[in-house]
A and B are shown apart, each in its own frame.
Chain A
Amino acid sequence: MPTEQFDPQLRRLFAHAREPLAGDAFLAAVLRRVMRERRSRYRRRLIAAAVLFLIACSELPVLLAKTALIVRFLGEYSTTPVGWAVSMMIGGWVLLWARAIARS
C-alpha cells in the first residue's frame, strides 16, 4: 500500500480551482510597498546615525579627559626604572616583529 495516497477527485478539484491571475497590477502594488519599505529603512538608519552622533558628542569631553589622564600617567611612569625596562621590552618586541616581516 502506498504511503501517500491522493484522492484523484480532490486533486482534480484543486487543479480546476487554480485560476490564472493577471500580474501587472499586483506587481505594481508590491513595488509600491517595496519603495515605502525602502524609504522607511533609510529614515530608520538616518535616525540611528543621528542618535549615535549625539551620544558621541555628549560623551566626547569625558572621553578626551580620560585619554589625557592615561597619556599623562604613561608619560610619568616611563621615566622610572621599571617604566624604562618595559619600554625596552616593547622596543625589542617591535624590532623582532619588524625583522620577521622583512624576512618574509
Chain B
Amino acid sequence: MPGAQFGSASEAVVAALAIAGDDAAFEELIRRRQGAIRNLLRRLTRDAALADDLSQQAFVRAWSSIRTLRSPSAFAAWLRALAINCWRQHLRRTPQEVAMQDTIIPDVAAPASAAERRDLDAALAQLSNDVRLCVVLSYDEGMSHGEISESLGMPLGTVKSNITRGAARLRELLHAYSPEEREDANRAI
C-alpha cells in the first residue's frame, strides 16, 4: 500500500527524509498535503482545473527547492506559501476578469454541500484578490492575523481590515445561510 512504510510518522520526520533526498518521502508529503493545498487554491481561484494545475506547480517547486527548507516542521507553512505564490504569479500573467457583480447567489440556502461550496466560491469571487486571500487564510486555513501578516508580508492593520471587510461582504452575499433566514425558510415550507 502506498505510503504504508511511513505509517503514522509525523510530517516533520517525513519532511526531513524528503529534504535528505528520499523520493518516497516526498511522495508521502504530496499524499498528505494535496487535499489542503487543492482546497485552498479552489477557494482562491473558483476553478477546480486551474486550482489543480497551480497545486501541481506548487509541488514541483517544492520538490525543486526542498533542500533549502531549514526546518522540516515548517513544511506545511512553506508549501502553503509556495502555493500562494503560484496563484499570485498566475494573476500577474493572466488578465483577470472582474467577477460579475450580478453573479446570482440564491436568496435561499442550498441544502447540499456542493451547492454551498458553489455559493461560497461565487461570493469569494466578488472580493478583491488581497481581501479574498486574507479571508481564506483566516477562515479556511485557521491562521491568525499575525501569521497571515508575516506570511504575506502585509501590514497587520491591512490584514485585519481586509478580513473585516471581506467577512462583512460575504455575510451580505450569503445572507440566505444565516440562522435567522434558514429558520424563516423552514417555516415557509
Contacts and interface: CB of A to CB of B under 8 A. Distances in A.
Interface of A: 3-4, 6-7, 9-11, 13-14, 16-21, 23, 26-27, 29-31, 33-34, 37
Given A17-B113, A21-B38, A27-B27, A6 B178 contact: no
A19 B117 contact: yes
Given A19-B113, A29-B56, A34-B60, A9 B171 contact: yes
Contacts of A9: 171, 174, 177-179
Chain B, interface size: which category? 35 or more
Given A10-B167, A21-B35, A26-B55, A31 B139 contact: no
Given A9-B177, A16-B117, A19-B117, A30 B35 contact: no
B174 A37 contact: no
Contacts, number: 82
Interface in B142-177: 144-145, 167, 170-171, 174, 177
A7 B52 CA distance: 29
Contacts of A31: 27
A33 B27 CA distance: 13
A6 B56 contact: no
